[in-house]
Structure 1
Amino acid sequence: MKSNIPLSLHGSLPGLSPHFLFGNLIQAGVLFRNISVPNALRQFKARYGDVFQFWLGSSRIIVVSGVEDVQHVLTHRHIYDKGALSTRTFSILFPDAIVCCKGAKYKRHAAYILTLFRRTKVMANLDLMIDHVDKLLVRWRANDIDIIHQNILQQCQYLVLGIFGFIAFDYDLEILNGEDFTGNELTQALQDFVSAFQFLLFSPSFISSIYLKFNSRYRRAREVIKRHLYQIIEQELTENEESLANRKRTCFIASLVTSLQENESLEASKPEEDKKGLSRQEVLDEMLLFLVAGFETTATALAWFIHLMSKHPRVQSKIKAELASNGGTTQDITQDRLDSLVYLDCVVNEVLRFCPPLLAAVRTVGVDDVLPQSGAQLHEGDEVLIPIHNLARDTRLWSIDPDLFYPERFLEADKNHHPYALLPFSTGHRQCIGQDLARFELKVLAARLMQNVTFTDGGPQVNSGGHFARVSVMPKHIGVKISFDY
């Protein structure tokens, strides 16, 4: 791996000379001027073109936005593997999760992890998701109709975290039961863990290590999660085979228990190619990865959906009309009915295009290569970042103005858009393994909300949108009124 020191432009690719420690974050306005990373990368693209250098702190990356170059990077897995930049961040918190694995270790983990996200297992959680939305609706109904909800993002996080507790652990986090969303001990620990991860995203590795070492809240949270998870594992191991088989249909931990190594010491002594199963530490890291990668991404997308519905009443009305024409607005949501909601599919796609919850896909160059569209020379060890927002707003890739929120584009001129113009969950060998769950969950939650409530704009001061990047690219300002339709 190439050294990132001294901080200076490398080679002939355009860019700005970086500052020590901060890279281009000050020049781009990310620090001190409140410009989000997606907007900063769009501005750099307008200035430097489809390929340029950018420094995220002390890390040099090559930003690639030309769609043919993007397709080349994401389809040539023998040249471009999982980005070391993102792996370094993930490995600080969960070094044994699949996102940090390569080679034989990745294949071993994939054999157990990828099966968790099969379509049948994802869809088995339909009723669970609806039940949690209904709990949130009960809370909303108790509020004054004139209240402007300015904590929608937080409420979406609580909703999805509650669902996550059951899907991952078959465990009630009790987060929607009380009046203040406090939940229980495990709920607070999971929230503290996510907060720690958010701090690490743009921090140098040595600062991250120091931060975690002296952060008592993070260390306590990890111990609480570990204790609860190991207790759940022990409980699963006492289940009979028939009960465990039934629980495996919907619960991740029940599935992973069957992958546990019987003799961890023996497996640890083997070459990686000969190892079987997962250790308890590996299962713990996988569950923590599911938390960080899954819960916040879906919650963010749902918050964007609510914000955009409040801004576009025409779209909201069309969703409600589609629901009414497919069995009535109050009828239970079934899988067949969900599949029939074509316009809602378009809305979900447009939300993910207009406000992608992920910042980028990152890859590391394994051998020297030349990008086909731009002709840019890349070298072994270079970090390549593909900004999802740049592709989603590129006027060359969309027939209808990409800065316009218009779900009908997927039924009209943009129906056959370039497949690499829309990458909300990345694609290829290292795409998001939980994207089917995220899409399904977003559609279910959106449909249930639209069956019951209407979101209206709370005004420009509180509902102006904007975004900031953490684990996902979150909305900065949401303020909506919520009225029940019946």
Structure 2
Amino acid sequence: MLFELCLILLLIILYVIYVKRRYFSLHGSLPGLSPHFLFGNLIQAGVLFRNISVPNALRQFKARYGDVFQFWLGSSRIIVVSGVEDVQHVLTHRHIYDKGALSTRTFSILFPDAIVCCKGAKYKRHAAYILTLFRRTKVMANLDLMIDHVDKLLVRWRANDIDIIHQNILQQCQYLVLGIFGFIAFDYDLEILNGEDFTGNELTQALQDFVSAFQFLLFSPSFISSIYLKFNSRYRRAREVIKRHLYQIIEQELTENEESLANRKRTCFIASLVTSLQENESLEASKPEEDKKGLSRQEVLDEMLLFLVAGFETTATALAWFIHLMSKHPRVQSKIKAELASNGGTTQDITQDRLDSLVYLDCVVNEVLRFCPPLLAAVRTVGVDDVLPQSGAQLHEGDEVLIPIHNLARDTRLWSIDPDLFYPERFLEADKNHHPYALLPFSTGHRQCIGQDLARFELKVLAARLMQNVTFTDGGPQVNSGGHFARVSVMPKHIGVKISFDY
């Protein structure tokens, strides 16, 4: 009996030691704060309970600990790397640094068979079909479609009282971008802008509920996230609604004849995806990954879901930041309008040639993406032990490396003009030849955002059309203070603007 008690006591002591070393101790020599159990550094950084955003928390830690430090995102230990030469090293040595296991684990809970979660041979198989969907020529073919959707939004705004302060700008941007993406990706009318208000329809509400879960997943261990989603009826209902709509889109596409599919593959993502469907899923499933061809129906579904979420969040977030920043910087807004006026007038149709001539607007788009990057970070996993060239930091196999995009964008060593200023002219002046890794709004390298050409093009088109027609003014500090919160993208927390028509 005494032996059993001693054995149990020994096991308890060993478990306590393990927990202390795993959750309450720093690992190695890199600086940082000792983490709290389960919460990591989130309480100490103010992310929990003090409403400090993750980008600002990482910026504060950088000021305290330097370019390389440990940070515990919940129960996950990450190495934050902010020195630009170290960042370039990580993002250009793909044989050492692969897709981050941390981000893969998080996304795989939502869409396990999408390209963002794939590695190795499976990634190559998906990339063969997915990357071609976002080629610039395919994206630019949708210029008129984008403008038509903006015009629908303008009709709604014109019906409003001029003194109304719009506090749901982010939601309106999401609906606008999602409506556009429904046609670009699926040749499908999601009927988002057809109603009389901005309450959305069943699908848009389901998408809101679906992506809302991501904020919880970002800070939670995988097993807790899985339990949370399993018992979250709102999330499960949202997922079923989205799947039903996506299956309906797939079935509608399968009814098209081969000639129609061939013609529509030039502009429509879903037509290309459907032609990638495996003819015999059971046979393909039995093959080694290196020998598989095509995509299964579940893989196509997850890719479509990823497209929807990305289309719902990233470009919409950037557009909302654009509107917020225009309301705060009337000088910039006036210069955009002047450039539009000198390139064919403010009421003329926007063509590809006119769009290419808007150099200052390019600078504004770049500055919006620098000042308020929609993505939080790039994440990589160390495949073999390595030493970073700038800091000399030793990294070990299995370490998770996080590159905070906001830190690079606000690093005074990388920008000649004060990076805390919103100043688009920097890209025509002293910062014209900035370090290429100082501005990474969509990451870079072989695992960069596959939709960045679409996002940049769409943001420029939407911004140009809005500036042709309306002026945004500040709704006041109580409603238009900005700030961020993180979901799939880093979103503005408080936007409140007035909208007036220019003619």
TM-score by length of 1: 0.97
Do the aligned partners of 1:364 and 1:382 also contact (CA within 8 Å) in 2? Answer: yes
Counterpart contact for 1:130–1:444, Cα < 8 Å = yes
Change (3 A) 1:183 1:151: closer
SS of 1:201's partner is helix
1:39-72 Cα shifts (integer Å, max 9, x gaps)? 1101000000000000000000000000000000
CA distance in 1, matches of 2:305, 2:229: 16
Q: Report the Cα offset of residue 242 of structure 1.
A: 2.2
2:177–2:311 Cα contact (<8 Å) kept: no
Q: Secondary structure at the match of 1:476?
A: strand
Of 325-334 and 458-467, the range deviating more from structure 2: 458-467
User: 2:175, 2:312 within 8 Å by CA — same for their partners in 1?
Assistant: no
SS in 1 for 2:345: coil
The match for 1:6 is none
> Shift of the alpha carbon at 1:148?
0.9
Deviation at 1:413, TM superposition (A): 0.5
Aligned to 1:35: 52
Q: More displaced, 459-468 or 176-185? A: 176-185
| 1:230-249 to 2 correspondences below 5 Å | 230-249=247-266
**3-state secondary structure, aligned to 1:256:** helix
Q: Give the match for residue 58 of structure 1.
A: 75
Moved more, 387-396 or 126-135: 126-135
* C-alpha separation in 1, matches of 2:433 and 2:307: 32
Partner deviation per Cα, 1:14-48 (whole Å, 9 max, x = no partner): 00000001000000011111111111101000000
* Offset, 1:460: 1.4
How far residue 216 of structure 1 moved from its aligned partner, in angstroms, is 1.9
Larger radius of gyration: 2
Deviations 1:339-397 (A, max 9, x none): 11000000000000001011100000000000000000000000000000000000000
| Distance (Å, rounded) in 1 between the aligned partners of 2:414 and 2:126 | 36
Q: Single out whichever of 58-67 and 284-293 deviates more from structure 2.
A: 284-293
The CA distance in 1 between the partners of 2:373 and 2:231, in whole Å, is 34
Percent identity reads 100
Deviation at 1:199, TM superposition (A): 2.9
Moved more, 55-64 or 162-171: 162-171
Deviation digits for residues 193-220 of structure 1 (CA, Å, limit 9, x no counterpart): 2222333222221221111111222222
Task: Indicate conservation of the 8 Å contact 1:133/1:159, yes or no.
Answer: yes
- Structure 1 pair 49–400 and aligned structure 2 pair: CA distance change class (3 A): same
Task: Identify if the C-alpha distance between structure 1 residues 147 and 184 changes in structure 2 by more than 3 Å, giving closer, same or farther.
Answer: closer
Cα deviation digits, residues 396-422 of structure 1 (max 9, x gap): 000111011100000010000000000
Cα RMSD of the aligned pairs, angstroms, is 1.1
Which stretch shows the higher mean deviation, 241-250 or 457-466?
241-250
2:398 match: secondary structure: coil
Deviation at 1:288, TM superposition (A): 1.0
In structure 2, C-alpha distance between the alignment counterparts of 1:385 and 1:197, rounded to whole Å: 18
CA distance in 1, matches of 2:167, 2:495: 6
**Count of residue correspondences:** 478
Q: Does 1:483 align with 2:500?
A: yes
Check the 8 A contact 1:83/1:363 in 2, yes or no.
Answer: yes
* Residue 190 (structure 1) shift: 2.6
Q: Give per-residue Cα distances to partners, 1:162-209, cap 9 Å, x unaligned.
A: 112212222211111112334433333333222223332222212211
Greater CA deviation, 363-372 or 172-181? 172-181
SS of 2:479's equivalent in the other structure is coil
Contact 2:324/2:482 (8 A) holds in 1: yes
1:127 Cα deviation after fit? 1.1
Any unmatched runs of 5+ in structure 1? 1-8
Question: What CA deviation, in whole Å up to 9, does each residue of 1:137-164 have, x standing for no partner?
Answer: 1111011001111111111111111112
Deviation at 1:221, TM superposition (A): 2.2
CA contact (8 A) 1:468 1:474 kept: yes
Deviation per CA, 1:259-314: give whole Å up to 9, x if none. 00000000000111110000000000111111223320111100110011011111
Whole-Å Cα distance in 2 between the matches of residues 403 and 377 of structure 1? 31
State how far apart, in whole Å, the 2-side matches of 1:39 and 1:117 are: 32
Distance, in Å, in 2 between the alignment partners of 1:280 and 1:192 is 24
* Structure-2 change in CA distance of 1:183 and 1:475 (3 Å): closer
Contact 1:426 1:432 in 2 (8 A): yes
Query: Counterparts in 2 of 1:85-96, with a 5 A limit?
Result: 85-96=102-113
Tell whether the 8 Å contact from 2:82 to 2:404 is kept in structure 1 after alignment: yes
Confirm or deny: 8 A CA contact 1:86 1:362 kept in the other structure. Answer: yes
More moved, 142-151 vs 174-183: 174-183
Tell me the CA shift for residue 114 of structure 1: 0.2
Q: Distance in 1 between matches of 2:214 and 2:44?
A: 25
Whether contact under 8 Å (1:175, 1:182) holds in the other structure is no
Shift of 1:245: 2.1
Offset, 1:241? 2.1
**Cα gap change, 1:167/1:198 in structure 2, threshold over 3 Å: closer, same or farther?**
farther
Q: Which runs of 5+ in 2 are unaligned?
A: 1-25
Partner residue of 1:421 out of 432, 438, 441: 438
Conserved in 2, the CA contact under 8 Å of 1:457 and 1:463? yes
Comparing 430-439 with 208-217, greater Cα deviation is found at 208-217
* More displaced stretch, 144-153 vs 219-228: 219-228
Specify whether residues 478 and 182 from structure 1 end up closer, same or farther in structure 2 by C-alpha distance, changes over 3 A only: closer
Q: Which residue does 1:270 correspond to in 2? A: 287
* 1:173 and 1:183 in contact (8 A); partners too: no
The whole-number CA distance in structure 2 between the counterparts of 1:139 and 1:183 is: 14
2:410 aligned with 1:410: no
TM-score using structure 2 length: 0.93
Name which of structure 1's ranges 285-294 and 42-51 shifts more when overlaid on structure 2.
285-294
Structure 1 distance, partners of 2:175, 2:84, is 36
1:224-254 deviation digits (Å, cap 9, x = unpaired): 2222222222221221222112322222111
Q: Which moved more, 1:82-91 or 1:464-473?
A: 464-473
Match of 2:369 in 1: 352
Secondary structure in structure 1 of the residue aligned to 2:219: coil
How far off its partner does 1:463 sit?
A: 1.1
Contact 2:284/2:292 (<8 A) preserved: yes
